[in-house]
Structure 1
Amino acid sequence: MTVLAHHLDDDSTNASAEDVFLADAQQYRRELLAHCYRMTGSLHDAEDLVQETYLRAWKSYKGFQGKSSVRTWLYRIATNTCLTALDSRQRRPLPTGLGAPSSDPVDDIVARDEVPWLEPIPDDSTDPSNIVGSRESVRLAFIAALQHLSARQRAVLVLREVLQWKAAEVADAIGSSTAAVNSLLQRARAQLDAIGPSEDDALQTPESKEAQDLLTRYIDAFETYDMDKLVELFTADAVWEMPPFDGWYQGPENIVLLSKTHCPAERPGDMRLLPTVANGQPAGAMYMRNRQTGVHEPFQMHVLATTDDGISHVVAFHMESFEKWGLPASL
């Protein structure tokens, strides 16, 4: 009886330790989601990979010897989980990343549903990754640029430059050498430089008065069905794209002509937009009126890049639900 009681006590202690560990690990869920999103460019994939990370952590908990923090250990598992997943997955581009020139706004628009497009991610101002990597590390331009890198280059760049890990720590995490990590980082930086300058440095924060004013005027133009108002909001070389359609459009006049030609709305009130934040940028969740029911249903998430000169870039993602943003299913 004494031996049995001793074993029961051990089992109880181990279970208690695991419970404490898992409870501690949960506080990192949101920043791990941001990490997996940076690696994959997909919110849905990132959610699945975070779940897989916690499952692997739970299964291998007994092997965790406390040589690093729980947070560091979870990041190692998450990174390697992402690397394994990315072996069998295509990169997730935006239309501007396909290599084609800008499109004619009056031409037919072509949906490419077979392409695994980049996805937006809801913003969370309480996200711990904002402290570590800041909102800039989930902005669309940066996530789109990461898609041009190999999976291991992505991992090294994110761990070194977003999370500020030392080269030796990254090497240990991905099973490589410090020299190899430095080489991967150098090649990753060179590739990003070749893609072109990032617009991120010039972007306003979503909470700034200027960004809020631009978003309000942008929403008003759509809701009143006054597309001509958009001309004065965009910068001279502004870009518009709307996956899953593969075209992209440049310049205020072309963007307005595209909207007039292809937007399914017909009159004021057909479109309603709720202000929100996505990828650390101001955004508008667009609901389109269903002509049969009169109900406004989820249609697109417009993610805006706003600068002191105006709106420089809009990605209008087709959306069937805004649940992840905590927004209503219909209006």
Structure 2
Amino acid sequence: MSSSHFETLVQSHLPELRRYCYYLSGSVWDGEDLYQETLAKSFSYYARKGDIKEVRPFLYRVAKNRWHDEYRRSGPGERELAAAEAGSAADADYAEVLGWMEWVARCMPPRQIIVWLLADYFGYTMKEIASGLRTTMSAVRSILFRARLRLRECHAAQPNAAFAADRKSMKELCFLVERLVYCIIRDNPEPLFRSRVGWGTRLK
């Protein structure tokens, strides 16, 4: 089987695979190594078997298995290894959460996403959000109202309408999306508060 056909199979999944490798390793440098090794092993499999069914799940599986193999060879203590294995269950949700947050990021601006997540996903009160973001309750109330309205509009629109509208801006939103995915999977909203400290009354 030719390398060009393999490239055609995986091409559309490469940006997301690279981000997943960064997510697994927690490091740009280690993530890039993992990304290259994942592609090499995937191509080796393709060359032997001749085809790959369900390409994206396959690439994710190869990356996760490769990272766990490397982690074990590095000789961590039993506690660290157990933690890595326990965390692998959360990794399985990564693609689903990533897709969800990319859709949300195309629907509304970052300030609305953050306030909406804090209120409707993590369950903070408006008073707690205002205090954590160092702004006023009236600003939080206004942002949350607009966020909920925007989500309803996106749901009511054509399935791909929100995706097409801001496709060019998604490159700028990659860091935000990764932060949101981390917060949701780890059930840890604290980075959302820290990322917005200093906005003050600009949250309008």
| TM value normalised by structure 1 | 0.30
Q: Which has the higher contact order (CA 8 A, sep 6+)?
A: 2
The structure in which a higher percent of residues are helix is: 2
Q: Which has the larger radius of gyration?
A: 1
The structure in which a higher percent of residues are strand is: 1
| TM value normalised by structure 2 | 0.45
